[in-house]
Amino acid sequence: MDEKKETGKLLTRAVEKKIIKIIKENYMQPGDKLKNEYELAELLNVSRGTIREAIKSLISRNILEVRQGAGTFVSNKNGVPEDPLGLTFISDIKEDKKVALDLLDIRLMLEPEIAALAAVKGTPKQIKTMLEQCKIVEELIEKGEDYREADILFHKRIAQCSGNRVIENLIPIINSSVSLTINLTEDVFRQNTYKEHRAVAEAIASGDSLGAKCAMIVHLNTNRRGIEKNFSKK
């Protein structure tokens, strides 16, 4: 029985690899529809049950997604887990501060260079989208509304301007840090965010690589000071 299970697992893994190969060889993009279960079973010469298990596994790995009544599609999550850093179960406030500062250290290593690259590599369409997202953040700040998700998307747009696919997959690190920073600073720096985002965005749009890098360093250091200042009061 155990041998059968192990053989089944090995077969499922082999089928997963073959499905990934199909996606790659056909240059399938996020949102593209995969062949149905029956067609894949025929193509790969395995049972539909094996195909079902392989697809279930690829969904759990954020490589595929199922849309009810429509079929199975390539996921736009690019195989990146939702919480790659395991931050979900951190609940202690002191630990939150340590993690937030650690994340900022990582971001300081990465994001200024990402912004510099974005100024050089960004296409007109990517730059336009990034500027539009900057404006959305500004409007939410002006209205006094929650801008966390819009802020995260702004940083994602900058990463997309870099033209580097690996950088895009580092976005969960940035996402985790943005939300945590806003929480820990009690959002007292929203006006700084307004000005600093605009400085980064305009430098990228004008092709000023050094300016974009410096503006991002300023922005991240403001976040760091905010966290340290807020915790020194407690």
Do 105 and 56 sit in the same domain of this protein?
no
CA distance readout (Å), 164 to 66, 145, 167, 204: 27, 32, 5, 15
Do 217 and 101 sit in the same domain of this protein?
yes
CA distance readout (Å), 78 to 58, 62, 66, 158, 227: 11, 7, 14, 18, 32
Do 40 and 105 sit in the same domain of this protein?
no
Find the domain containing 172 and state its range.
93-232
Do 211 and 112 sit in the same domain of this protein?
yes
- Structural domain includes residue 140: yes
What is this structure's pTM?
A: 0.67
Q: Yes or no: say if 100 and 177 are a contact pair by the CB < 8 Å rule.
A: yes
Q: Which residues pair with 64 in a beta bridge?
A: 74
Do 143 and 220 sit in the same domain of this protein?
yes
Do 116 and 223 sit in the same domain of this protein?
yes
CA distance readout (Å), 71 to 16, 37, 102, 168, 172: 17, 9, 41, 26, 27
Amino acid at 142: E
Do 54 and 119 sit in the same domain of this protein?
no
Number of domains in the chain: 2
Do 188 and 97 sit in the same domain of this protein?
yes
Do 125 and 227 sit in the same domain of this protein?
yes
- Structural domain includes residue 82: no
Secondary structure element (H or E) that encloses residue 149, with its range: helix 148-161
- Structural domain includes residue 88: no
- Structural domain includes residue 79: no
For 201, the token pair is: 């965005």
- Structural domain includes residue 80: no
Do 69 and 106 sit in the same domain of this protein?
no
- Structural domain includes residue 66: yes
Residue count of the chain: 234
Place of tokens 């590599």: 121
Q: Residue 187 — φ and ψ, nearest 5°?
A: 55, 35
Name the nearest CA neighbour of 55 among 76, 34, 70. 34
pLDDT by residue for the chain (234 residues), tens digit each? 455 666 678 899 999 999 999 999 998 988 999 999 999 999 999 999 999 999 999 998 889 999 988 999 999 877 766 666 666 665 554 567 777 788 888 889 999 999 999 999 999 999 999 999 999 999 999 998 988 889 988 998 999 999 998 887 777 667 666 766 766 665 667 788 889 999 999 999 999 999 999 999 999 999 888 877 766 555
Do 58 and 164 sit in the same domain of this protein?
no
- CATH code at 52? 1.10.10.10
Residue 223: exposed, middle, or buried by beta-carbon count in 10 A (0-12, 13-18, 19+)?
buried
Count the neighbouring beta carbons within 10 Å of the beta carbon of residue 10: 10
- Structural domain includes residue 86: no
- Structural domain includes residue 51: yes
